[in-house]
Structure 1
Amino acid sequence: MIFSNLLILLGSVAIGFVILRIILSANFILSVLKRWWRSFEDRCHVYQFYKIPEYNESFQENQLYKKVSLYLSSLASIEDSDFVNLFSGKKSNEFFLQLDANQTVQDSFFGSKISWKNEAKSDCKMFVLKIRKKDKRRILRPYLQHIESISDEILQRKKEIKIFTNVGSENGTIGRWRSVPFTHPSNLDTVAMDLDLKNKVKSDLESFVKAKQYYHRLGRVWKRSYLLYGPAGTGKTIFIAAMAKFLCYDVYDVDLSRVLDDSDLKSLLLQTSNKSVIVIENLDRFIGEKSTKVSLAGILNFMDGIFSCCGEERVMVFTMNSKENIDPAILRPGRLDVHIYFPLCDFSAFKTLAGSYLGLKEHKLFPQVEEVFQTGASLSPAEIGEILIVNRNSPSRALKSVISALQSNGGGRGSGNVGRRLTESGSRNGNSDDSPESASMMCRESVHTVREFRSLYGLLRFGSRKGASFDLEKEGN
């Protein structure tokens, strides 16, 4: 009996082996047939070939070669090539693939199959593009534009972001920008923010980045401007850092106290690069100072004057503590397209901060904290955040300290009611000052952040904050 079962088992194994041999043989035969057919098509000149060498005749680097290399490394089909080089990136757990010499990779575009080969000879390297002749007129130019677009996005993501500040002028010469790496870890994904509001912010930024042709068709400068306003410590600066990280744009922080005059401010604008976030903080304070050497006309020209067209894909951000008594000419759409209000902390924002700083979702003291907030007491997210940091090893002590601080310092401020009225009230007509009645027109949703970033040359300070309300205004002419 055992012997019979053994024979049956051996017979099954033999049959399986034969079937496997047949399958492998069939795959081998199919592979040979495909290669033969491709060779036949090549001989019949069904395909058009384009060479993209690494260097041109003058031994200058071919930028298209670099872009093609980046693009091919991003294709999922590169893993199907027989030999692929694997490299580690600058960040931990980051890897990227690169096509080995004399290997091919397949791609498709607008329904057409495309093949790339990495040819490496002793004297030069090149990529060879193979497209069907019947498709070349239809897809070649759009396909190359597609490659440039994807490679530019990859380069932008890999770019080392820098933050620039304008230094004082010396010997009467125009000031220059100085930079350091911008390594702040915050971004829009990690900032504690109402999900709907976060999606609005992301959507607005993504739409702007992709709108080059749209802006050009309208005859408008390709830029977007934001106004962030609210009390100190509510998170305006951390929001700027998150925007810059999301866009992978350099940051130019303009210190108006170091600007000589309107002409100097204009010169600084001309020295900024494309794909950048240009920031002026506390604009309301500078406008109100008599010692400021920059005039209102100079500020307006900086925002949307004729020289603002000498660069593209810029996001301009201005911060204020209040819009009250600000000239309406500054606030109009076109100069300030998006207004975001940053109120003081309420209980909802406090719970977000407690979750981020202490890892608390619920606590027995939360009802007591909420009760204090309901009396109208409020502190800035920065103030509450510092209390939570100091007492981070004891959540109960941290919450008790917050309650004590609200009772002793927040009750007389009454600012919490302002924040709640702004976020709870509906849209209605009114002017654009900072009274609760008029500001509610601009503020419809709330957003919370964790910590406010301040770093370079004393321009930026640390703190935490509750976020903002968001309104996309229609752009003016």
Structure 2
Amino acid sequence: MGRILWLLGVGIVLFLVRIVLFKTGLIHMVKKWRRTMTDLFHVYQHYKVPEFNGNGQENHLYRKVTTYLNSLSSLEDSDYTNLFTGKKPNEIVLRLDRNQVVGDEFLGARVCWINGEDGEEDGARSFVLKIRKADKRRILGPYLQHIHTVSDELEQRNNTELKLFINVVQGKKNGRWRSIPFNHPCTFDNIAMETDLKNKVKSDLESFLKGRQYYNRLGRVWKRSYLLYGPSGTGKSSFVAAMANFLDYDVYDIDLSKVTDDSDLKMLLLQTRAKSLIVIEDLDRFVSAKSTAVSVSGILNFADSIITSCAADERIMVFTMTGKEHIDPAMIRPGRVDVHIHFPLCDFTAFKTLANNYLGLKEHKLFPQVEGIFQSGASLSPAEIGELMIANRSSPTRALKHVISALQTDGDRRGNAGRRSFLESGSRRSISEDACSEMSGSLCGGGGGGSSPAVKEFRKLYGLLRIKSGRKSESYDVARDIRDG
């Protein structure tokens, strides 16, 4: 009887000890003490994985380690872990916080990763791998290869989400770029643009995607550059989004007002990733106002320099502006800018696309009246017409009446100004066409004459596309301006 009572008492004591250990922080203290004592009997080697290489470029291993560590179940054992919403509804994902430790096991050996920060000024991020020297020769190489394999699989699985990167002011922590999910719904299917032009742009982009060997054979960096120019609200930003969705590329939007100097602009380029669109919007405004610390030569070197050749492989560069009249031709010459696309004010063809997208209308009794107003020279930007349709989407007829009213008031002034702009640029366009015809009669889509192999290579490289709108009085080069200077 006494033995039974003794065993019962021991059981109660053990139960109480278990409660004290697991219901308080004592068990954590015991584990930490045990790890400390174990460390006293082992010699460790430390390996640092910084976010950037010595030349300022992204260290791809850092990204792979980040992806790998965030997939470990042991992340839950970290003292401090961040919680974020996932892609799926009600999904919660864990992310390792700064200066936290996460453990991992590989081939029977235990390693630790420390998520650190190098200093207070630059705030550069890094991971530190802590591994026993006795295990180093046996597992280090296979373990790093394991990280590569797992992270590549995870990135392929999660590569459906595009990102929009924006540059921040120098001195901020965690590098110069911040990213948010890029969920812009604009595609080439729903953008208001002539079908022929869309098909030519898509064909040009598809050729770029398949062009690695072609560019390497020419000794050129595998990049493509676009100039999008036209009045505000004509769809340039939407076109960039459509390009990103078509290519499945991330977008880097450079704000020149947050760039400190020319070297800083180069550093931003070095820190971009492959398979991305690098965008500088309203370039003419920055150049004319000189409102940034970046010089014209800095922008020229950004578009075409040794740094660009080393850091712009497999990238699309996009520059937007309202007009080319006040821009130095050297900034947009072939080699720096390959494809020029003009975004004019809305015409009747674009209007019908907008009516179909915004109102679900393919035909309407008011369409002939709208067409007549466009033919008289009146016009508005696609954004202005789109806003009228959105505001009156519950009644398509009312929406069309508002569009007609706007075209009859502001549209006539806008349309005539646009027509004068076309006429003023006609002499320059004629010179460009003459220069083009001297190289080849068919280079710009004209008739007669064959093309030499060299000209064909030139055409394929620079994508000399030419489209004319259906309006006889307002023809324009859509995708290429060749200058003779």
On whether the aligned pair clears a TM of 0.5, the verdict is: yes
AA in 2 matched with 1:266: K
Deviation at 1:442, TM superposition (A): 8.0
Please give the secondary structure, in 2, of the residue aligned with 1:260. coil
State the match for 2:233 in structure 1: 233
SS in 1 for 2:341: strand
Aligned mates of 2:428, 2:212 — CA distance in 1:
32
Provide the C-alpha distance between the structure 2 equivalents of 1:402 and 1:371, rounded to a whole number of angstroms.
13
Give how far 1:410 is off.
1.3
Tell me the equivalent position of 1:330: 331
The residue type paired with residue 177 of structure 1 is W
Q: How many residues of Structure 1 are paired with residues of Structure 2 in the alignment? A: 301
Match of 2:203 in 1: 203
Other structure's SS at 2:187 match? coil
What does the per-residue CA deviation read over 1:311-342, in whole Å, with 9 as the maximum and x for residues that have no partner? Answer: 31000000010000210101111100000000
SS at match of 1:412: helix
What corresponds to 2:18 in structure 1?
none
Equivalent position amino acid for 1:444 in 2: I
Asked if the contact 1:176/1:268 (under 8 Å) is kept, the reply is yes
Aligned-pair distance for 1:233?
0.1
Whole-angstrom distance in 2 between the partners of 1:354 and 1:159: 31
Moved more, 291-300 or 230-239: 291-300
Amino acid at match of 2:337: L
Aligned equivalents of 1:189, 1:169: Cα separation in 2? 39
Which secondary structure state, in structure 2, belongs to the residue aligned with residue 221 of structure 1?
A: coil
Write out per-residue CA displacement over residues 262-319 of structure 1, whole angstroms, 9 at most, x where no aligned residue: 0110111110111110000000000011332100100000001110122310000000
Mapped to 2, the partners of 1:378 and 1:416 lie a distance apart of: 10
Distance 1:206 1:157 in 2: 23
Q: Letter of the aligned partner of 2:479 in structure 1?
A: D
Partner of 1:302: 302
> Do 2:284 and 2:322's aligned partners in 1 also have CA atoms closer than 8 Å?
yes
Instruction: Call closer, same or farther: CA 1:283–1:428 in 2, change over 3 Å.
Output: closer
Q: Structure 1 residues 91 and 350, CA, compared in 2 at 3 Å: closer, same or farther?
A: farther
- Is the 2:192–2:350 contact (alpha carbons within 8 Å) kept by the matching residues of 1? no
In the alignment, what sits opposite 1:263?
A: 263
Q: Does 1:168 pair with 2:169?
A: yes
Q: Which runs of 5+ in 2 are unaligned?
A: 1-86, 90-107, 109-151, 434-463, 471-475
Q: Which has the higher contact order (CA 8 A, sep 6+)?
A: 1
Give SS of 1:340's match.
Answer: strand
Q: Is the contact between residue 194 and residue 350 of structure 2 (CA under 8 Å) also seen in structure 1? A: no
Kept in 2: contact 1:226–1:338 (CA 8 A): yes
Separation (CA, whole Å) in 2 of partners of 1:290 and 1:426? 29
Change (3 A) 1:469 1:363: farther
- For 1:422-437, list aligned pairs within 5 A: 429-430=430-431
- For 1:242, what is the secondary structure of its paired residue? helix
Distance 1:307 1:271 in 2: 12
Cα deviation code 1:152-190 (max 9, x no counterpart): 9x949944210000011238x996000001011222233
Contact kept, 8 Å, 2:167 with 2:178, in 1: the verdict is: yes
Alignment of 1:207-222 (within 5 A): 207-222=207-222
1:287 equivalent in structure 2: 287
1:220 corresponds to which letter in structure 2? R
SS of the aligned residue for 2:399 comes to helix
Write the distance in 2 (CA, Å) between the matches of 1:156 and 1:337. Answer: 34
Q: Are the aligned partners of 2:373 and 2:408 in contact in 1 as well (CA < 8 Å)?
A: yes
CA 1:242–1:91 in structure 2 vs 1: closer, same or farther (change >3 Å)?
farther
* CA–CA separation in structure 2 for the residues paired with 1:230 and 1:156: 39
Alpha-carbon distance between aligned partners in 2 of 1:372 and 1:189, rounded to the nearest angstrom:
27
Match of 1:411, SS?
helix
Q: Which residue identity is paired with 1:282?
A: D
Alpha-carbon contact 1:344-1:419 (below 8 Å) kept: no
SS at match of 2:413: coil
Deviation at 1:405, TM superposition (A): 0.8
Percent identity between matched residues is 62
Give how far 1:474 is off.
8.0
Instruction: State whether structure 2 residue 323 is matched by structure 1 residue 317.
Output: no
Look up the match of 1:244. 244
Q: Which residue of 1 aligns with 2:414?
A: 413
Shift of 1:430: 2.3
Task: Answer yes or no: is the 8 Å Cα contact 2:197–2:467 preserved in 1.
Answer: no
**Partner in structure 2 of residue 7 of structure 1:** none
Residues 395-410 of structure 1 aligned to structure 2 (within 5 Å): 395-410=396-411
2:295 and 2:248 map into 1 onto residues whose CA distance is 32
In the alignment, does 2:185 pair up with 1:185?
yes
Give the 3 Å change call, closer, same or farther, for CA 268–420 of structure 1 in structure 2: closer
Taking the TM superposition and a 5 Å limit, the aligned residue runs for 1:26-425 are 155=156, 158-170=159-171, 176-311=176-311, 312-415=313-416, 418=419
1:343–1:473 distance in 2 versus 1, CA, 3 Å: closer
Shift of 1:385: 0.3
| Deviations 1:73-99 (CA, angstroms, capped at 9, x unpaired) | xxxxxxxxxxxxxxxxx899xxxxxxx
CA contact (8 A) 2:225 2:316 kept: yes
| Greater shift in the superposed pair: 273-282 or 283-292 | 283-292
Separation of aligned partners in 2, 1:239 and 1:313? 19
RMSD: 3.6
Gaps of 5+ in 1: 1-89, 93-122, 124-150, 433-440, 448-467
SS of the residue corresponding to residue 348 of structure 1 reads helix
Give, in angstroms, the shift of residue 421 of structure 1: 6.4
1:471 corresponds to which of 463, 470, 479: 479
Asked if 1 retains the 8 angstrom alpha-carbon contact of 2:345 and 2:418, the reply is no
Contact 1:377/1:406 (<8 A) preserved: yes
- The superposition leaves residues 90-117 of structure 1 with CA deviations (integer Å, 9 ceiling, x where unpaired) of 899xxxxxxxxxxxxxxxxxxxxxxxxx
Letter in 2 for 1:163: L
What TM-score results when the alignment is normalised by the length of structure 1? 0.57
CA contact (8 A) 2:253 2:278 kept: yes
State whether residues 194 and 349 of structure 2, in contact with CA within 8 Å, keep that contact through their aligned partners in structure 1.
no
Query: What letter is aligned with 1:295?
Result: S
Q: Distance in 2 between matches of 1:442 and 1:421?
A: 19
Per the alignment, do residues 159 and 474 of structure 1 end up closer, same or farther by CA in structure 2, a change over 3 Å counting? farther
* Residues in 2 aligned to 1:357 and 1:246: alpha-carbon distance in whole angstroms: 21
- Residue 268 of structure 1 aligns to a residue whose secondary structure is helix
Give the SS at the match of 1:273. Answer: coil
Output the CA distance in 2 between the equivalents of 1:259 and 1:383: 32
Aligned partners of 1:174 and 1:264 also within 8 Å: no
Compared with structure 1, are the counterparts of its residues 200 and 316 closer, same or farther at alpha carbon in structure 2 (3 Å cutoff)?
same
* Match of residue 64 from structure 1: none
Q: Quote the Cα distance in structure 2 between the aligned partners of 1:157 and 1:446.
A: 41
Going from structure 1 to structure 2, the CA distance change for 1:336 and 1:282 (only over 3 Å counts) comes to: same
Change beyond 3 A, Cα 1:190–1:402: closer
- TM-score scaled by structure 2? 0.56
